[in-house]
Structure 1
């Protein structure tokens, strides 16, 4: 299955075990681009138990609706950055730079505050895209 289909399945909520692994593989690639620690990855996914996080990555499984929603926003953030900042290093660095739009926090710091923070970063980037 292609990465695009896995993302689409994850976003639609009709996700099976193999698609969970694919979706988390895509998330892992994004996390690597952004230089996220394991704890930050777990936080962005809604703070599942560490053992659950590693089980999902290894075996797949069913992702809770909250985690699927978070993944959807994270994929959208990543895609928006690809469009707005085509230079990958600039786009990846943007996540960690202080930003007035987030009261001086970086987009990553804001996203790590919870689902509302992830959504706020997505909404900001969607507005920048027009």
Structure 2
């Protein structure tokens, strides 16, 4: 599949995960690097003909984080809830993972993914 063929399924999966993580619309837009509410609404409706590669990379991080959480935690509610709970690990400095990634964008996504991957080792 080409990157653009992955765009639709990737966005649909992202929005399903964002519901499980109880993300606000602002957090969704921030995670996707979305410039405005209209574009985000368009993506939610499935109009993703020209999705930028950066958005696909961000979606890939979200999918990896989701998978890692569901590998680490056997309980679905615990796995999905982890993103919203404050975390005392130095990376998070008391923030939740969702706040960290919403504030730091792709760098935050990469850091959380790396943190979780280290937990799996």
TM-score under structure 2 normalisation?
Answer: 0.89
The CA deviation string for residues 18-62 of structure 1, in whole angstroms up to 9 with x for no partner, is: 642221110011001000111111110013221112222222212
Q: Residues of 2 paired with 1:48 and 1:127: CA distance?
A: 32
RMSD of the TM alignment (CA)? 1.4
What is the distance in 2 between the residues matched to 1:125 and 1:40? 20
Unaligned runs of 5+ in 2: none
- d(CA) in 2 for partners of 1:107 and 1:43? 13
Partner of 1:42: 29
Structure 2 distance, partners of 1:43, 1:86, is: 28
- Count the aligned residue pairs: 117
Q: Which residue of 1 aligns with 2:116?
A: 125
> Of residues 52, 69, 85 in structure 2, which corresponds to 1:64?
52
Instruction: List structure 1 runs of 4+ shifted beyond 6 angstroms.
Output: none
| Structure 1 gap ranges (5+) | 1-8
